[in-house]
Chains A and B, each alone.
Chain A
């Protein structure tokens, strides 16, 4: 008990530090061929790189702070700060804990690897054209490769504007509807066993606003990720949530001009009549996407973080903490000012405040009745490990 208290006062090893080490360090610093003969899998081995109480004397911290490690890219400021504070507070590592034991179960990785192989094997030289799928019914629209200016001048959370390059992908023509999402929630005999499914919702999740043809709402980002994994297994094609940059690029659709009056293309506070509306009943944007703005706001893959000014190519800030995650597009509840391609909404713990239990559900945001998502399908298929990262945010549990 005492140990637990000490740990929790600083960074929590199992919840916060171990996941960083597992993801960013262990791929090279583990096993008998560990780089620099440094292994980070157990306390004894890792001690070589850690001086408890002195982050600046610990190569674990100095190398990630300077950015020399990990080679694939510098850790986020939060992740670096977690490591610093953990070492500063004595680098407590619970007795007997080895990091292998904390990895996501090998079975999950294996299952994603098999799915990856199936997707690659099924790959046809698809024309980069619009297409439809029938069960579940959805349509995808090709979004061409290109560059755009991400952000909005003079708005604090949307500045600085910066240049972003985006690789080609298909995007859902409509927001994912209950018709599609409920197949994932309720159908157990569809040949997809390996993907975890939502717990049965206790209350009726459309809250009387309509099901057939209406957008699905009130799911967590974790649930949306699992839907993407389920759909990928179901179709043999790789689907995932869009990054924040992909979403904004697709929303702007090659234009910089102010769009028409929001009444023409969006359901929002002034015209929604207090509820969401059927998908695709307003005008599409220039690239044929419906309801990008309004109706339901949409999950992206990114942690909600300040923008940097440097140009970027296909940027993605993978979440390292449960809140806030970036949500886009505004919803039927929002005023016109929030119905903009540049506008960002941070996810918030209050979206689960109706859940009386602790720990809270990892599947439902019962109080976010204007929150949904749509999926993308990148033209270039990632590695199996890449797929795993897209589908597992690692921060699905609320603190």
Chain B
């Protein structure tokens, strides 16, 4: 916060020198939000807090209710920065493009992940800075598309901050600094858990209003459909995959095998409710990722990192700790990582020092996705295979009123790797 305040005093100078906000006559940074649910609303509130001259000027969603709730919620604390003219409230599957064209400077992407590759490309094509929630795709073609987009963003000097929030958490950053500084010796293994309750369980089929299309019904219950959610390991446990990648300095895994399935009736959806994946890295380093979304079970979201000279535990007790040759516990005050993401984004825009999270957010998503591929097919999957997978899970064309069949859940041994 101190840094930000100090910086804002010199905002005028930074702007005069800055080339990132082209054609601007004022200090204002106009923010548009695509996806106005709980996470998007939170992100918008944080964006407005991050910069004295940020203003929310455009919203896009599939539901006017969501847009109204988002405005109401943010207006409770930051009414003066909410300047969303009714003509800048966009509805429907093409709302994102209209929002981009409405003259915003920064776009916050917070829809379900299936839409992300197309939305992100449109933002970068139009020279917008972006806050991009995780994960960034539901299939490998989407990941490759985002990798390309990330390069374009870099070339255009656009800031792209990813919602892999732990990378913006001061106490987790300090923990990984310790690990990378050798506090555990050579790294041996990483066990990550993401055992939780279901995130957004499928409502009973009787809740579906008469005449609602498949596409609308599935988007409204997006968590339960592979094409829009990416499955639980990609949508949620990807945070743990991202930390594994972090420990490995973001180098790719060699390969993985995995198991997974569904124990609780899917009620019309088609995602698994549990996965366990075993990743191989160079130098015999192994990483294990377990996730489950079932009620009344042992819940845990933790990381156990083993090295030749010690062990680190994150998520058991409020503070990470290291035991062994080095004894260490985080003793500072935790920052608000969600706020910090936006403080960094807006400072980078003001200072013309773009943040480039694009490649990393794509490879962390792919790491979780290759675990899903291994569990779905029952095969060992290499990084190269995963990256080059031709399976298109997100539909090429989507019609809001259209029908959309729900493929059966994959069956290991029968489902082919594509």
Contacts and interface: CB of A to CB of B under 8 A. Distances in A.
Decide if A and B are genuine partners: yes
B80 A9 contact: yes
Contact of A358 (B42, B165, B299): B42
A1 B45 contact: no
Nearest to A208: B316
Listed from nearest, the 5 A-B pairs whose CB atoms lie closest are A357-B38, A208-B316, A204-B299, A8-B79, A358-B42
Interface of B: 37-39, 41-42, 45, 71-77, 79-80, 82, 84, 86, 165, 195-197, 199, 295-296, 298-302, 315-319, 321, 329, 334, 336-339
Say what secondary structure dominates the interface of chain B: mixed
B197 A202 contact: yes
11 contacts: A9-B79, A204-B195, A207-B316, A208-B317, A356-B39, A356-B338, A358-B39, A358-B45, A369-B317, A370-B318, A399-B76
Nearest to B299: A204
A274 interface: yes
A208 B315 contact: yes
Contact of A186 (B296, B300, B302, B339): B296
Interface centre among A15, A200, A204, A358 (most CB of B within 10 A): A358
B295 A200 contact: yes
Contacts of A274: 317, 319, 321, 329
A104 interface: no
A356 B46 CA distance: 10
A350 B72 CA distance: 22
Contact of B196 (A15, A202, A367, A370): A202
A12 to B, nearest CB: 7
Given A186-B296, A203-B196, A358-B41, A399 B318 contact: no
B172 to A, nearest CB: 12
B31 to A, nearest CB: 15
Nearest to B194: A203
A101 B70 CA distance: 23
A4 interface: yes
A44 interface: no
Contact of B79 (A5, A202, A359): A5
B299 A369 contact: no
A275 B317 contact: yes
A367 B336 CA distance: 10
A364 B42 CA distance: 16
Contacts of B196: 202-204
A275 B80 CA distance: 43
A353 B300 contact: no
A60 interface: no
Contacts of B195: 204
A200 B45 CA distance: 25
Given A203-B196, A367-B318, A399-B76, 16 more contacts: A1-B71, A8-B76, A202-B196, A202-B199, A203-B301, A207-B317, A208-B317, A333-B318, A353-B337, A353-B338, A356-B39, A357-B38, A357-B42, A358-B42, A358-B45, A359-B73
Contacts of A200: 197, 295
A209 interface: yes
A358 B73 contact: yes
A304 to B, nearest CB: 20
A291 to B, nearest CB: 18
Contacts of B39: 356-358
A367 B73 contact: no
Interface in A357-386: 357-359, 367, 369-370
A288 to B, nearest CB: 30
Contacts of A204: 195-196, 298-301
A207 B195 CA distance: 12
Contacts of A8: 75-76, 79
Contacts of A5: 75, 79, 82
Chain A contact-residue range equals 20 to 34
B317 A15 contact: no
Interface of A: 1, 4-5, 8-9, 12, 15, 186, 200-204, 207-209, 274-275, 333, 350, 353, 356-359, 367, 369-370, 399
A207 B315 contact: yes
A357 B37 CA distance: 8
Contacts of B165: 356
A94 to B, nearest CB: 12
A383 to B, nearest CB: 33
Given A204-B299, A208-B300, A353-B338, A359 B38 contact: yes
Contacts of A359: 38, 41, 73
A369 B171 CA distance: 16
Nearest to B335: A353
Nearest to A276: B317
A207 B41 CA distance: 27
A9 B83 CA distance: 13
Nearest to B79: A8
A4 B71 contact: yes
A35 B336 CA distance: 50
A353 B79 contact: no
B76 A15 contact: yes
A296 to B, nearest CB: 12
Nearest to B300: A204
A399 B79 CA distance: 12
B86 A353 contact: no
A1 B38 contact: no
Contacts of B77: 399
Contacts of B336: 350, 353
B80 A369 contact: no
Interface centre among A204, A350, A367 (most CB of B within 10 A): A204
A202 B301 CA distance: 10
A207 B302 CA distance: 9
Contacts of A358: 38-39, 41-42, 45, 73-74
B82 to A, nearest CB: 7
A16 to B, nearest CB: 10
Contact of B86 (A1, A209, A357): A1
A207 B334 CA distance: 16
Interface centre among B71, B76, B82 (most CB of A within 10 A): B76
Contacts of A333: 318
Nearest to B83: A5
Contact of A208 (B45, B296, B302, B339): B302
Contacts of A186: 296
Contact of B318 (A9, A202, A369): A369
Given A203-B299, A358-B38, A353 B75 contact: no
A200 B293 CA distance: 12
A29 B206 CA distance: 45
A202 B82 CA distance: 31
A3 to B, nearest CB: 11
Nearest to A355: B42
B330 to A, nearest CB: 11
